[in-house]
Structure 1
Amino acid sequence: MRIALVSPYSWTYQGGVNRHIQSLAEELLSRGHYVRVIAPFDPPDRLSKVLHRAPAERLEAPDYLIPVGRTVGIGANGSVSNIPVFPESIRGTRRAIEQGNFDVVHLHEPTTPANGWDTCLSSSTPVVGTFHAYSTKQLPNRLAALAGAHRVVNRLAGRIAVSEAAAWTGRRWFGGNYTIIPNGVDIDMAHDGEKPDSESLRALFVGRPDERKGLPILLRAFEALVEQAPSRLAVVGAEPDDVRRLLAYPELEQHLDLHGKVSGPELWRHLHEADLLCAPSLSGESFGMVLTEAFAAGTPVIASGIAGYSDVVTDNVDGVLVPPGDPQRLAEELQLAHHEPERLRRMGKAARQSSKRYAWPAVADQVTKVYERAIEVPEPEHAAERFKRRLGVVPSDGLAATPAVRLPSLDPAPADGPGGRSGMVRKAALGVVGLLGVGLTVIAAHRIGIDDVGQAIVRSDISWVLVALGLMACSLFFRAQAWYYIARAAMPGSPLRRRDFTSATMIGVLMSATLPARLGEPARALALTRHTGRAKDNLPVVVGTLVSQTMLNLVALLLLGMIIVASTDLFHNSTKTLFTFSLAPLILLLAVIVLPSILKRQGNSRLAKVGAAAHEAMVKVRKGLAIFRKPKIGFPAAFFQLTAWAIQLLSCWALMFALGLDSQAGLAASAAVLFAVNVTAVIPATPSNIGIFQLAVISVLTTGWAVSSYDAFAYGVILQAVEVATAVGLGLPALVREGLTWSDLRTQALATAPVELSAHPRRRESDGTATDWLR
């Protein structure tokens, strides 16, 4: 049989689909079939690195590979798909199929654009499609359906799904009939014999550092594990630098073995030497080839109980299933594995037995049967029926049409991941509040007059706007210096560098400007803590330095209030409430001072233990207030912080000149604006507090200085634009310098939540039976 295996993914950015294709091709070749693999091939050059944000592997193309052009890395389904978007790939695939005189074309991921769709629509040879992915996302699948994906899929003469999860995707979005044939495993490549002796628990993670693969969850669990049990974690597939970026506590690296990408034989060696494989993916997994490879090596698995994985792992037989996104449960199972080596060995034997179900000879037999059925599908007798089949109106597999049906997701909700119910409620609430803020802005603009506001903005002097922008940027550098002196007083023995404080400050401002709920504060704390040595111990102290800086901000607000009182009677009216609200940070200061004494451990109850842990953390936070006990360092800290506020005040004043309001609203008005926007931003519900920001400016300027509402609104818009531009202009370079992304900071924030293990683990009541959370 002459067989073409068509891959939509780059051969030099290897993933599970291409590994499946390579093994299938070699199995079919060993049986005497003529096989050619048609796939994109990215050379290891600079352009490939630019197109994928990562270098291509230096791989020699096998004799059976027909390369068909470059690909581009595109984020999809929680990871990066390296797919062809250039015409040369489509032309090359068509040409290879036409010249190959194949009996059947086996297309993998037929819903992938470019050469996937084109192969379905243009090939006169019977096409069999294998669905590898599990996708529950509404938007991309509905867009694909609107673009005609169901008609493209109807052109297939046979449909294969690698799991129930992959079949779910096809049935949910495109309809049709699917033969479930799992991914195969080359069990002959697995090492025989006993595993090497070791006193430590040897865990293994294999995969990319994509968020959905769950590596941050595993690192969070492992941080707790190493404190209770000797253990090491080997990470294969993720580059060392990518893993380090995920570490909230860099000292954890001494317990890690970071191997990066490895060859096939090296992977089999790591699978053999590991006591267990960890697969903590959050979602989006249709099968998990690495699970069956671990089984072949006699290595049991601790995996998330998600669709795809739960079809492979039999809980408490050849592995353990844990709730997705639950680092506490994952850490507990790892600790139990260390204390129960005999149970591990028993599951390892069962895993090796389970792998026989996925041996390539058995899988290839099932695949060739689908080929034979596809080749034997008869052509319709009538021209109209042939025309419908050609257009994809009816299926080309000769079976009755089966429409897409609405199906419930196969995945359980993550414990605290983005898919959880609480996460959805939180996102919905933030969305409603955000829309409310934007709505307030729009309503205000309409009432005031959009044309008048627009004219006021257009009339503004750009040179003064640039001056304001420069002053705003300068103020952030002074804030960073103030923070540096505060931290010096709190952490005298830690290696502190001014540039680290500058970068962290810029990152915090960027996060505050682009995300709601003051996420900039934890972001800058995390960004700085990475450079302070013992990150886990120092994070509460760094949080304490933020409290100290907040106290200095309170002093600045009091000074602004004095300027307002001396200049206008506005304070005695609407600003009185704002001034009272500005005293809220005093509550925070009192909490930091008093809570450690209240939370001292008394007794051995669970509540007492929680209180003791909170007491320890609050004591460390209180260390961040050391600046107030060390005047020698406290003076420069206060000087830089108050100077930053003065420079920011000058920036607000410069915008008065930009709009021609300087004669009507001078320095005192600028102080009132700065006071109002900072007080109303204590708990911003929207990015940059949009909506509330403008209303605060309008209230101050129209009430206290009789500025027209449209000029006040224009001033608020320009002032906020200056703040956001400063945040983006300084924050993005800081992220680049730190080698971080928004996603990295989010996952690091996740990793700071505590995972606690007792010295003597106890099995949960649900263990040994079907796990309760799966019911």
Structure 2
Amino acid sequence: MTTRAGAARRSPLRRWGLPALRVAVIVAVGALAVWKLDLGEVHDAFKITSWALLAVAVAANFASVAFKGLAWKGVVDALPGRRQRTRYVDVIPPLFIGFLFNTVLAARVGELVKAMLLRRRMARRGPRPPTTTLLGTVVAENLVSTITWVGLVVGIGLFMPLPSYAWFASVGLGAACLAIVLVATLSGPGRQLPPWLDTGPLWARARRAMERFWVGVRESHLGLREPRQLATVVGASLLSWLAQWAGIYFTLMAFGLDEVGWGGAGLLLVTITLAQAFPVLPGNLLVFQAAAVVPLTASYGVHAAEALAFSVVLQATEAVVGVAVGFLFLVAEGVGFGQLRREAEAEDRREQRAEAARADPLARS
């Protein structure tokens, strides 16, 4: 009863406190931008010189998401015990809906939505893995994708100049992801977390949750030991990043920023990806703009107003894919996030009861 009362007392803070804080940050930064920038200059900077190139940029971003879906499918198909391959048409709607939730909400909520929706679709055609396992495939795909991105950045840097901070940040993030992948791939079954976490009711619940999640991540990497399956995931991830790079380049061309070129598009691919790795505001608003404006003004001498206008259009070309297409898929799916969350919580309770029953037969009651 005490736990429920405490949860009830905390719920208003979770529901209203954090969103209010995010809104306050957006308003404060927006007020600062209005104070520092000439809004007339920003308005005049919204000049699209080629709508056809902007349409090509949107198509490239759509292709980027489609290739990402192919990479995720490769990870899901590599799960141990999977006897039938996942249909690509079952992967795409959850992927776009996940992008929708990641755009309108913060904290990568869309990653969980993707896993839950794919599980619903897989249940219609046969056995379905647990949600934690599918969430592990999302993490595994993101890790492999990030490592592939670092390889692409290194390739760009060999032919086009990149600032030192882009090198250090990219290699550092890639090294961290590679370490997780190696540990997950080479580790064996059994206890995955230190025993000191298994103390007390709260720690025990946290330990079980982390252990289930880590097992899902580890299982998702086991199938990637197969070179052919790993090549499929890496190849699709590389095509996804190349398409996103092309989307940035064509948006630059549509804005008349020809002098920035492919090298500048590569630098923007680095800074924007790093900014999106740690989302703190819905749609990564303001952070995305800063990640585009700073390199354009500092490295290429683009006027601040023009760089800001470009950043808004660039984010729109990427968001329209996830928001518009994701919304259509969400309507077709006929399910809300609240229902998905309740299903995931119910499954989590069933898994906890099953684990408790295996550990102690008396816990069945």
Structures share fold, TM-score greater than 0.5: yes
- Note the C-alpha offset of 1:592: 4.2
CA pair 690-661 structure 1, distance change in 2 beyond 3 A: same
Matched residues in 2 for 1:438 and 1:579: separation? 34
CA offset at residue 524 of structure 1? 0.4
Map 1:431-446; keep pairs closer than 5 Å: 431-444=20-33, 446=35
Q: For 1:471, which of 60, 63, 69 is the aligned residue?
A: 60
Q: How many residue pairs align between the two structures?
A: 351
Query: In structure 1, what is the Cα distance between the partners aligned to 2:128 and 2:25?
Result: 38
How far apart are 1:690 and its partner, in Å? 0.2
CA apart distance, 1:431 = 2.7
Counterpart for residue 552 of structure 1: 144
Distance 1:449 1:713 in 2: 11
Match of 1:571 in 2: 163
Partner of 1:631: 227
Aligned position for 2:242 = 646
The alpha-carbon distance between structure 1 residues 728 and 609, as it changes in their structure 2 partners (threshold 3 A), is closer
Q: Supply the AA of the counterpart residue of 2:217.
A: V
Q: Shift of the alpha carbon at 1:430?
A: 3.8
- Flag structure 1 segments of 5+ consecutive residues without an equivalent: 1-321, 327-412, 764-775
Percent identical residues: 23
1:675 aligns with 2:303: no
State yes or no: 1:702 paired with 2:285: no
User: Which residue number corresponds to residue 120 of structure 2?
Assistant: 530
Whether the aligned pair in 1 keeps the contact of 2:66 and 2:92 (CA below 8 Å) is yes
Distance in 2 (CA, whole Å) between partners of 1:749 and 1:685 is 24
Q: Aligned pair 1:499/2:89, yes or no? A: yes
1:571 Cα shift? 2.3
Unpaired runs of 5+ residues, structure 2, are none
| 2:318 match | 723
Deviation at 1:748, TM superposition (A): 3.8
Summarize the Cα distance change of 1:530–1:752 in structure 2 as closer, same or farther, 3 Å threshold: same
CA distance in structure 2 between the partners assigned to 1:681 and 1:706 by the alignment? 24
Amino acid paired to 2:86 = L
Given that 1:677 and 1:696 are in contact with CA atoms closer than 8 Å, whether structure 2 keeps it comes out as yes
Q: 1:583 to 1:450 in 2, by over 3 A?
A: farther
Partner deviation per Cα, 1:485-517 (whole Å, 9 max, x = no partner): 211111522562211111111111111011111
Distance across 2 between alignment mates of 1:443 and 1:605: 48
Match of 1:562 in 2: 154
Q: Deviations over 1:333-364 (max 9, x none)?
A: xxxxxxxxxxxxxxxxxxxxxxxxxxxxxxxx
Check whether the contact 2:140–2:217 (CA below 8 A) recurs between aligned residues: no
Show the counterpart of 2:77: 488
Aligned to 1:509: 99
Q: What is residue 7 of structure 1 aligned with on the other side?
A: none
Q: In 2 relative to 1, CA 583–448 (structure 1 residues): closer, same or farther, beyond 3 Å?
A: farther
Secondary structure of the 2:260 match is coil
Instruction: Write out per-residue CA displacement over residues 369-391 of structure 1, whole angstroms, 9 at most, x where no aligned residue.
Output: xxxxxxxxxxxxxxxxxxxxxxx
The 1-side partners of 2:107 and 2:179 are apart by: 19
Indicate if the aligned counterparts of 2:251 and 2:314 stay in contact, CA closer than 8 A. Answer: yes
After superposing the two structures, state which structure 1 stretch, 457-466 or 425-434, moved more: 425-434
Structure ID, larger Rg:
1
Matches within 5 A, 1:355-366: none
Which residue of the partner structure matches residue 168 of structure 1? none
Q: Matches of 1:460 and 1:635 in 2, distance apart?
A: 39
Letter aligned with residue 628 of structure 1: L
Report the alpha carbon displacement of residue 672 of structure 1 after superposing the two structures with TM. 1.2
Question: Which letter maps to 2:287?
Answer: I
Cα deviation 1:256-309 (Å, max 9, x = unaligned) = xxxxxxxxxxxxxxxxxxxxxxxxxxxxxxxxxxxxxxxxxxxxxxxxxxxxxx
Residue deviations 1:556-586 (CA, integer Å, cap 9, x gap): 3213432553355542246634653554434
Distance 1:457 1:704 in 2: 21
Which gives a bigger RCO, structure 1 or 2 (Cα 8 Å, sep 6+)? 2
- Kindly provide the CA deviation profile for residues 236-263 of structure 1, in whole angstroms up to 9, marking residues without a partner as x: xxxxxxxxxxxxxxxxxxxxxxxxxxxx
CA deviation map 1:101-128 (0-9, x unaligned): xxxxxxxxxxxxxxxxxxxxxxxxxxxx
Q: TM-score normalised to the size of structure 2? A: 0.83
Amino acid at match of 2:328: P
Point out the structure with the larger strand share: 1
The answer to whether the 8 Å contact 1:504/1:525 transfers is: yes
2:330 to 731, 735, 739: 735
Report how far residue 725 of structure 1 moved. 1.1
Match of 1:379 in 2: none
Q: Distance in 1 between matches of 2:60 and 2:341?
A: 30
Q: 1:749 to 1:717 in 2, by over 3 A?
A: farther
CA distance in 2, matches of 1:495, 1:762: 35
Amino acid at match of 2:101: M
Amino acid at match of 2:256: G
**What RMSD over aligned residues (CA atoms) do the two structures have, in Å?**
3.4
Q: Amino acid of the residue matched to residue 599 of structure 1?
A: L
Distance 2:53 2:144 in 1: 29
Query: Shift of residue 531 of structure 1?
Result: 2.7
- Alpha-carbon distance between aligned partners in 1 of 2:83 and 2:9, rounded to the nearest angstrom: 41
TM-superposed deviation, 1:653:
0.5
Counterpart-to-counterpart distance in 2, 1:621 and 1:531: 21
- Name which of 102, 106, 110 aligns with 1:520: 110
Please tell me whether residue 661 in structure 1 is matched to residue 264 in structure 2.
no
Q: Return the offset for 1:629.
A: 0.7
